[in-house]
Amino acid sequence: MKKIYALSISFLAFMGVIFAQSQDSSIVVQETDMIEQNIDSLMTLWLVQKSIEMNKIEFRESDSIITNFPDSVYIQRLNDLHSFIPLTYNEKVRSFINMYAKRKSQVELMLGLSSYYFPMFEEILDAKQLPLELKYLAVIESALNPRAVSRVGATGLWQFMYGTARMYDLKINSYIDERRSPYKSSVAAAQYLSDLNDIYKDWILALAAYNCGPGNVNKAIRRSGGKRDFWEIYYYLPKETRGYVPAFVAAAYLMNFSAEHNITPAKIDIPLAIDTIMLNEKVHFEQIAQVLNVPIQMIRDLNPEYRRDIIPEDKNGMPLTLPQDIAFQFIDLQDSILAYKDSIYLNPKIVFEEAPKYSSNSYSGGRGNYSYSYTPPDVKGKTKVYYTVKSGDAISLVANWYGVKVNDIKYWNNLRSSRISVGQKLSIYVPNSKAAKYSSINKLNQEQKSKQYASSGTSSSGLSKQVPKDANYVYHTVRKGESLWVIAQKFPGVSDSDIMKLNGLTSHSVQKLQPGDVLKIKRK
């Protein structure tokens, strides 16, 4: 009787496995649908839409892809990756490779985005001594879209659920959701993956647990009789997790062998030279966009963690990421930005402030931490001249005319912000030898000042203010409020980095870009 009972249990278990196998195709379809939805969500990014428009990226049919490779080729290519995480090949992996390859144009977008995100992922993973191949997890989780949200509420590049995010110190409130912060969510994901690997001592099981939670993986191990190989516990895992690891292997494959499938990276115009400024005061994205004359959607894409276009006040500082040249402009005009229509964009409040301070505004970005500090200039050996503000003047223009900094004018005139009003008399210190020249500026009208300024030959950026005669190139004269990134958007296929290279500009000389400077853009 016991033997019959045991055989019955074995038969039921066998039939259960057969039934699970019969659902393999539907599982792959479900997981494929989820990944395709993530890929489609890329189109919500303004920087992607802008790149498609400017670089004339076409969504081509899948008949141009190549998928007729024998299994031995796929196996050899995966072996050639020398991955620390085992990349097993089977028919399930092949199904996901074909799925990705058929979404050719969208995969090309992901390849383009990878040049922006992967270096950051690798740096974080390397610091924790984790396998760098884990970066491909973000491809199947979110298609590299920091704003991706799943049907169950998982959010960001690494698709954190609310509870797990809080466990790993990601801040979530009415203003901010750090699950959408590319850097902070990547740090949290790396730590979570490290913790999961400490539990299972197996990276494939850690990946499965990342998807469905350690509890479900532990149940699958117990139901399998204690087996600890993903493919041996495959049919005991939740349906969606069965397709998760094959999708990871397929993503790792295609991100390395896309060219063999006639898939090439799209050019995504994300500014690679960026800085992160730490702010203590509340500011609205519209204030930044309007004063610096940049698209608000660009600010949103570089700062996806802010839910309401508002960076909240925080004594410890909140990050604002901008293209490097725009970040320098923000620092120079910070007071003007914070004051711009603040009663409209922010809740008005009365603040009792101390005397104006001109100490450091610290920020970090790019390859390390930097500090931007203001030291009042020595006026010894200089002459004080006066300028009366006229209609159409801005403090940045006045500073350019006199060859001084905005902060210099603010300091000399005890100004709390960069706002100036018609009829206001400004004191400015200039070299004794040029006092007569600078004194005459106050008598010029706007047209005369513009002409005199534009004919000065070269600017502090080292660029010419005369339009060159070389007919082989396209040129652009910098206008007020334009940054290098904004200028690049006007010329399809041209990035801010391209303009920097063509004009011999460095990150330091870019911040000195002035109205009237002439930039070489591209060959005709």
Indicate where the chain has its CATH 1.10.530.10 domain(s). Answer: 2-261
- Residue (of 54, 484, 507) closest to 269 by Cα position: 54
Say yes or no: domain 382-454 is CATH 3.10.350.10: yes
If DSSP states are collapsed to H, E and C, what string results for 74-100? HHHHHHHCCCCCCCCCCHHHHHHHHHH
Q: Which fold has domain 2-261?
A: Lysozyme (1.10.530)
Each residue's pLDDT tens digit in the chain (524 positions)?
444 444 444 433 444 444 444 455 554 555 555 566 666 666 667 666 666 666 556 655 555 667 779 999 999 999 999 999 999 999 999 999 988 888 888 888 899 899 889 999 999 999 999 999 999 999 999 999 998 888 888 999 999 999 999 999 999 998 999 999 999 999 999 999 999 999 999 999 999 999 999 999 999 999 999 999 999 999 999 988 999 999 999 999 999 999 999 888 888 777 767 888 999 899 999 999 988 888 888 899 899 999 989 999 988 889 999 988 888 889 888 888 888 887 777 754 432 233 333 333 333 333 233 333 456 777 888 999 999 988 767 777 788 788 887 778 888 988 876 678 888 999 999 988 888 888 888 888 866 776 665 444 444 455 555 555 577 788 888 876 677 777 877 787 777 777 877 877 765 566 667 777 788 888 87
Which neighbouring-strand residues pair with 386?
427
CB 39 within 8 A of CB 103: yes
Query: How, if at all, do strands 382-388 and 310-311 pair?
Result: unpaired
Say yes or no: domain 473-523 is CATH 3.10.350.10: yes
Q: Where are the alpha helices (DSSP H) in 363-466?
A: 395-402, 406-412, 435-439, 446-454
Residue 511 CA to residue 524 CA, distance in Å, equals 27
Q: Phi first, then psi: what are they for 359, rounded to 5°? A: -85, -165
Indicate where the chain has its CATH 3.10.350.10 domain(s). Answer: 382-454, 473-523
